[in-house]
Amino acid sequence: KLYEEERERPVLLIVDLGPTLFFASAGAYKQVRSAQVAALLAWLALWAGDQVGGLVFNDRGLAVLRPARRRKSVLRLLDHLANHQHQGKTPPTPATNASHGLDTALAEARRVTHTGSRVFIISDFMNITEQTTTLLGAMSRHNSVSAIRIQDPLEKALPSSGRFAVAGPDGPIWFDASNPRFQQAWQDKIDAHEQRLADCFRASGVFSATLSTGEDPATALRLLLGPGGRIG
């Protein structure tokens, strides 16, 4: 009986498809990588005999699927991953009342998560707050929680030279990477966010792995899978 309960452990996938994930300088958009990782984990969990559920959200809405050990549950999750993707070539315009961010999803996840669940949070974690640490810590006290961060190479460092355009709600924004003052300001912002994110994960007791938009999604999963490809 104990063995069967372990086999049917709930696996919850919290998937961020918000506006900041409609971006990439290499590979695929962050929102695409986020959906790919979630899909891989969902099928692996079902194959291993676990229950699969998820929360899929962007700035416009949040979909909740309670864990169940059915192929139909994974297919419903895939439908939501597709429906919450931003479509079109222009960047999404954030809603004036963005009430469906990461903190909202984490708070909702606490309501549907059973003690002993395996939880994966797939996001770029660009919009963390002080409340994020509190919510993650509360979840990790009773569950095994991992954060899979989707990151673009430009979010680590700028090229040493060249002029580049970044799409924005009011049109493209150009910057000169060879400008030392701009380089320093960009690096300072990156370093501050990296420290803040590291403090958040450490304080909340959450394991983290990073996937670049230019990498194969299976790369990040190698750190999370046990023998035989089972979710650890």
Q: What is the largest CA-CA distance in the chain?
A: 64
CATH number at residue 43: 3.40.50.410
Is residue 8 assigned to a domain?
yes
pLDDT tens per residue across span 95-132 = 544 556 999 999 999 888 999 999 999 999 999 999 99
Q: Residue 13: give the domain boundaries.
A: 2-154+198-229
Contacts of 220 (CB under 8 A, 6+ apart): 37, 148, 209, 210, 211
- Nearest-angstrom CA–CA distance, 101 and 124: 12
The one-character DSSP state at 231 is B
Structural domain total, the chain: 1
From the list 45, 43, 39, the residue with the least C-alpha distance to 6 is: 45
Is residue 117 assigned to a domain?
yes
Is residue 172 assigned to a domain?
no
- pTM: predicted TM-score of the whole model, two decimal places: 0.88
Q: 3-class DSSP state for residue 232?
A: coil
What residue ranges of the chain have pLDDT lower than 70? 1-7, 88-100, 167-171, 220, 223-224, 226-230, 232
Is residue 137 assigned to a domain?
yes
From the list 187, 191, 231, the residue with the least C-alpha distance to 207 is: 231
Is residue 94 assigned to a domain?
yes
